Amino acid sequence: MTGQSDQIFGGQFTGRRVLVTGHSGFKGGWISTWLNRLGAEVTGIALPPEPGPSFYQACALDRTMDSRFADIRDPAALARATEGLDAEVVFHMAAQPLVRKSYREPAETFATNVQGTVNVLEAVRRMPSLKAVVVITSDKCYDNREWLWGYRENDPLGGKDPYSASKAATELVAQSYAHTFFSDTSGPQLSTVRAGNVFGGGDWGEDRLIPDIIRAWHDGQPVTIRNPDSIRPWQHVLEPVAGYLLLAQKILSDGQRFAGAWNFGPDVSGTVNVRDLADMMWRAWGAGAPGFRFPDESATAPHEAGILRLDSTKAQTRLGWRPRLELSQAIELTTDWYKAHAAGDDMGKVTQSQITVYQDLMSGTSCDQTELAAQ
């Protein structure tokens, strides 16, 4: 499904063999859909989707890409899944992505996020045609000191909770491989990318604000909002995914100049507390919107960052990337997606339509905000 707007990444993905780990997840599903639209030959390796609704099932990704299931913690299973695969570009997204789950299952979190990354890099670095590897980590990889200003790529890594620590460790693994196995200027290059709190249609992950709201709406129950005063950099999933694709494009065309770490965070206007985002979601939903409860969890809740912001100056100046959606627009796209899903619409077409809207914004042929909300 290509066209003039799909040349926005310089046509670099047309006919490319691309591997996406974690394609059965939320972000992995969106980037796989976009890559398929760009004309790439997409292969995905991941665990099967969790029981219940998922982006993977809603958009029938098994019919649009080469979908393979394996646990990245198991090198033998991963070797079988990659047998015969010679990817040119790899987006490594497979991970245990939840902070609160990491408290319940710390060993699994480290095994998946750290050793799993080692296993993936071992599997792909021997692919003869490999040119670019993009390892997706998290804004929580930074040693969070609750600063008011954004963290830059050269700020110290760290993590108080198992999830954050595992993402910092993933960054160290990626840095080691970049220096040891991806240092040849004429060979494949490796980058890591860090984004903020990402939301959008098709996310049903546990203990995440937007999915919790959607489940409450579906069940006719008020949603419990934890840590309402915590400040987060909120962004629609298409914002960082566009950055990942743009970075891979630059690596393909210019090589080592674009290796290293990159932040893809929202503007200051997209950095609001949990309470304000919930209120924006409620107002965007309209009739039948779910209610909210704000219990006092301060005495029992596990630690989560209070303030966390990213400085994306590097991506804006060197890649030409910038956020395209106002927070209100991102919320409109998200509520529209879930309403369409509840109505039984063709979610593959709905998702493609939203990608078209975003590509138009990137190419400067966008409509105004009122027209965007009506898409």
What is the rounded distance in angstroms from the CA atom of residue 203 to the CA atom of residue 29? Answer: 10
- Mean pLDDT (10-residue bins), the chain, 375 residues: 64 97 97 97 96 95 97 98 97 93 96 98 97 96 86 94 96 98 96 94 88 84 81 91 98 95 89 86 81 65 67 96 95 94 96 97 65 45
The whole-number pLDDT of residue 297 equals 54
Sorted by where each begins, the domain ranges of the chain are: 14-297+306-359
DSSP labels for 231-265?
A: EEEEEETHHHHHHHHHHHHHHHHHGGGG-EEEEE-
What's the predicted TM-score (pTM) here?
0.92
Torsional class of 60: left (φ above 0), alpha (ψ -120 to 50), beta (otherwise): left
Cα gap 160→14, rounded to integer Å: 42
- Give the SS3 label for residue 189: strand
Q: What's the pLDDT score for residue 282? A: 83
Residue 113 near residue 96, CB atoms below 8 Å = yes
Per the document, the length of the chain is 375
98 contacts 162 by C-beta, under 8 angstroms: no
The answer for residues whose C-beta is within 8 angstroms of residue 107's C-beta and 6 or more apart is none
- Give pairs for 318-322: CB < 8 Å, separation 24+: 318/258, 319/243, 319/246, 319/247, 319/250, 319/258, 319/262, 320/246, 321/242, 321/243, 321/246, 321/247, 321/264
Nearest in space to 141 (alpha carbons), one of 178, 104, 167, 173: 167
Q: Please, what is the end-to-end C-alpha distance for the chain in angstroms? A: 19
So what's the pLDDT on residue 218?
81
Query: How confident is the model at residue 289, as a pLDDT?
Result: 77
CB 358 within 8 A of CB 324: yes
Superfamily of domain 14-297+306-359, CATH level 4: NAD(P)-binding Rossmann-like Domain (3.40.50.720)
How far, in Å, CA of 364 to CA of 205, rounded? 33
pLDDT at 5: 47
Pairing of strands 271-273, 231-236: antiparallel
